[in-house]
Amino acid sequence: MRKAVGAAIGVGALTLAVILFAFPGQRAVPEAVKSPVAVKTTSTTSPAPSHQPTPTTRPLASASDIKVRTVAYGSGPRQRMDVWWHTKGPSRPAVFVIHGGWWSGGDKKTMTTVSRSYARLGYTVVNLDYRLSGDAPWPAQRTDTIAAIAAARAHAARYNTDPDRYVLVGFSAGGHIAAAVGTYENGLPGLRGVVGVSPVISPLTSYADGGEGGSHDQRKLRTTATALAGGCTPSECPDVWASMEVSEHASAGDAPMLDVHSQDEFVPPYQSELLQQALKTYGVPMSIKVMPGTQHSAPLYREKGVAKAVEDWIAARLESDR
């Protein structure tokens, strides 16, 4: 595997990702996850608003019936999540929101308006932070997200939520984390779908695209993907890069997915096409929505029709039997 990945680096992005698929036995040993015994409240006020888009196409829940708390799902300073829940009515399905930021930056505060919008649509919302690549290398980010999900499900009654009906929505690097969670082992209990907005599905492909001749953003993504891998290149630690490749972990138990890309952005649609092909092998449906232009992540989500398409897909998934 080490020799194959190293030799592949010079032959192009698509070939790089495909080479990993030829080694189905090359699975990374998952990092252990411990569900928290208790959830600690660290704040009782709503986070400050961000400049993210707000979908408003469905009847909105009353803001007075929505509570927001920031709680800990682990002992680290970034292992925190904002939980938005409804104090009245039946238990609600949940939307977990995962921010982007090159794996090395970003904060859940940038997803406040997105979170509020889904809460107003009637969902329980969990907007989470996670350890960044400077804090801990991969798979810490996936581990943290799974721990946050476990914590929210363990306290489903407190948050008036249905622990067996939830989706993940990730932006850019957060989309990579969401998809990695969606393909973790043979599927997580209760997970009904995964949405990625400009998701980095194939860090290995991004590494190749960020070589000589790559754009500024492509070169930056190559650097930050290497940092996520603990500072080592694909030839130096092929097992880690294989673990980061979402398509390498596709299985029959994975949740359906929706990815959204701009046609000419620096995280191109063909990354998601690789995952779509892998999931198709196992009969798992995946849709890819491609918009014209170069917008990436939150600016892409603000494009006309994108938020509505995501909302509709989420509603269909959470209302389905599976």
Q: Could you tell me the strand order of the sheet in which 286-291 lies?
A: 40-43, 66-72, 80-86, 124-128, 92-98, 161-171, 191-197, 257-262, 286-291
On whether residue 249 sits in a domain, the answer given is no
242 domain residue, yes or no: no
Distance CA(204)–CA(195), nearest Å, equals 21
Q: What is the pLDDT of residues 131-168, one digit of tens each?
A: 999 999 999 999 999 999 999 999 999 999 999 999 99
Q: Is 225 contained in some domain?
A: no
Containing structural domain, residue 310? 41-46+61-200+256-319
Q: Residue 12 and residue 207: Cα distance in Å, rounded?
A: 10
Q: What is the pLDDT of residues 38-97, one digit of tens each?
A: 333 333 333 333 334 334 445 677 788 999 999 999 999 999 999 999 999 999 999 999
Query: Has residue 160 been placed in a domain?
Result: yes
Domain-embedded: residue 145: yes
Say whether pLDDT at 299 is over 70: yes
54 located within any domain: no
Residue-wise pLDDT for 311-320, tens only, equals 999 999 998 7
Beta-strand relationship, 66-72 and 40-43? antiparallel
pTM of the predicted model, to two decimals?
0.84
- Averaged pLDDT of the chain: 86
46 alpha carbon, distance to own chain's centre = 23
Q: Which residues contact 20 (CB under 8 A, 6 or more apart)?
A: 5, 26, 204, 241, 242, 245, 247, 248
Residue 189 lies in a domain: yes
300: CATH? 3.40.50.1820
The total number of structural domains in the chain stands at: 1
Q: Two tokens at 277?
A: 């092909």
- Residue pLDDT, tens place only, 270-290: 999 999 999 999 999 999 999
Residue 215 included in any domain: no
pLDDT classification of 107: cutoffs 50, 70, 90? very high
